[in-house]
Structure 1
Amino acid sequence: MIFVVLTLSIAGMAAIAFWAYRNVAPHSDRLPMQWSADGTVNWRAPRLLAIATTPVLMLTIIGLIFVLSRHDHAERNMALLWVSFIGPALQALHMALVARTVENEE
């Protein structure tokens, strides 16, 4: 069951990335990656890197979970369940913040 949820999560993150690449600030070459406490952009990354960062980070974390908890299946499954929900949510939040920031700059 956990592998179905994990597969759906990865597919969801891929769908968010494809959608964001086409729709979030399509004219911008660089997208915001980090904001300060007052809401100003600290730094920007190239468009493809900015959109691919969260999925790549989540796939790396999934791989680490498999390696580091290979003897405790219950722990592994719980960690994968958390990551499968948090990953797409974080990616959607990041893309929403990027879209809002770019829209306010125009």
Structure 2
Amino acid sequence: MIYAALILSIAGMAAIAIWAYRNVAPERAHLPMQWSTNGTVNWRAPRLVAIAATPLLMLALIGLVFVLSRDDHAERDMALLWISFIAPALQAMHMALVARTVENEE
């Protein structure tokens, strides 16, 4: 069950990344990565890096969970379940913020 949720989560994040690469500001070479508290963009990353950052961080976190909780399977499974629900939502939120920022800049 946990692994099915994790696989669906990774597939969902891949779908979000592909959709975002094609549809979110396709003319821009750099996309926002971080915003200040007043809403201005602090820094931008190259397009591919900005879109792939969240899925790559998720995969790194999954690897870290497997290494650090190899003795406690219940803890590992709970952490993986939380990651599988939270990571796609964070990626979708980031892409929505990027799209809104780019749209407001034009």
TM-score (norm 2): 0.99
Cα deviation digits, residues 30-72 of structure 1 (max 9, x gap):
0000000000000000000000000000000000000100110
Gaps of 5+ in 1: none
Partner of 2:64: 64
> 1:50 and 2:86 equivalent?
no
Partner of 2:41: 41
Superposed displacement of residue 20, structure 1: 0.2
Task: Give the partner amino acid of 2:2.
Answer: I
RMSD across aligned C-alpha pairs, in angstroms? 0.3
Task: Give the partner amino acid of 1:42.
Answer: N
Partner of 2:86: 86
TM-score (norm 1): 0.99
Provide the identity percentage.
79
Structure 1 stretches of at least 4 aligned residues deviating more than 6 Å after TM superposition: none
* Partner secondary structure for residue 32 of structure 1: strand
Cα deviation digits, residues 2-46 of structure 1 (max 9, x gap):
000000000000000000000000000000000000000000000
In 2: Cα distance, 1:2 partner to 1:70 partner: 15
Gaps of 5+ in 2: none
Task: Give the partner amino acid of 2:36.
Answer: S
> 1:21 and 2:21 equivalent?
yes
In 2: Cα distance, 1:91 partner to 1:4 partner: 19
Cα deviation digits, residues 67-93 of structure 1 (max 9, x gap):
100110000000000000111000000
* Partner secondary structure for residue 27 of structure 1: coil
